[in-house]
Amino acid sequence: NAGVMQNPRHLVRRRGQEARLRCSPMKGHSHVYWYRQLPEEGLKFMVYLQKENIIDESGMPKERFSAEFPKEGPSILRIQQVVRGDSAAYFCASSPVAGEETQYFGPGTRLLVL
Amino acid sequence: SQKIEQNSEALNIQEGKTATLTCNYTNYSPAYLQWYRQDPGRGPVFLLLIRENEKEKRKERLKVTFDTTLKQSLFHITASQPADSATYLCARGTGFQKLVFGTGTRLLVSP
């Protein structure tokens, strides 16, 4: 059973470009969470999605950031017009059902904005 | 605010000793706490979950305690090995199960 997959593992963008981060949850998991880890800081929750629904986006910056989890395909975290402060590691986690406390994390995407 | 606090200083111990890491929480009572391990360049890996009505939980060389009076969880690794060197994260669940993490404590086990 493959774990949570994220791609790309590393992404370099210039200021003003768009970044698209993909997450395929574990098989059978329909709940996806995105977290951001800035250098020397802890993981911070961004958004929680179920298939075709955003359940909680309280940690997502109001501008430039969006997330989706379509009926088919991976979850996408999209950052428009990236700035240097967006440089971080972005982790996706999944769980099988609501109320399942344990989350299974992917390897992360390291975004570097030049 | 509802915080999770971990000692940000690295913990250095010798192989074979017991490592003890601390997680403190303030201003709330979490229903459970989780411990994860994170290696450089990798995602966190779940280790143990302990609920507020559980005093202690064990898994192989790992032991977690939960003291609701002290508002603290302790994470122990017995007979530590260099391969245990990593950053250990404490987390609490919230509504909709999003996790709030501490900043983590880096453990270095010397041979």
Domain range for residue B71? Answer: 4-110
Please give, one letter per residue, the 3-state secondary structure of A56-74. Answer: ECCCCCCCCEEEECCCCCC
Give me the total of CB pairs closer than 8 Å, taking one residue from chain A and one from chain B.
Answer: 64
**pLDDT tens track for B22-50:** 999 987 778 889 999 999 999 999 999 99
Q: What are the pLDDT tens digits along chain B (111 aa)?
A: 668 899 878 999 999 999 999 999 987 778 889 999 999 999 999 999 998 889 899 999 999 999 988 999 999 999 999 999 999 999 987 766 788 899 999 999 999
Spatial distance between the Cα atoms of A7 and A21, rounded to a whole number of angstroms: 6
pLDDT at A98: 64
Spatial distance between the Cα atoms of A64 and A83, rounded to a whole number of angstroms: 10
- Report which of A8, A2, A25 is spatially closest to residue A73, judged by C-alpha positions: A25
A38 touches chain B (CB under 8 A): no
Report the half-sphere exposure of B59 (CA within 13 A, side-chain side).
9
Spatial distance between the Cα atoms of B16 and B13, rounded to a whole number of angstroms: 9
Helix (H, G, I), strand (E, B) or coil at B2: coil
Q: How many domains does chain B have?
A: 1
pLDDT at B14: 96
Q: Which residue has the tokens 């910056």?
A: A61
CATH of the domain at B99: 2.60.40.10
Q: How far is B7 from chain A (nearest CA, A)?
A: 12
Structure tokens at A53: 């629904």
Q: How far is B15 from chain A (nearest CA, A)?
A: 26
**pLDDT tens track for A13-58:** 999 999 999 999 999 888 999 999 987 788 999 999 998 899 999 9
B42 touches chain A (CB under 8 A): yes
> Checking DSSP bridges between strand A5-7 and strand A19-24, what pairing results, if any?
antiparallel
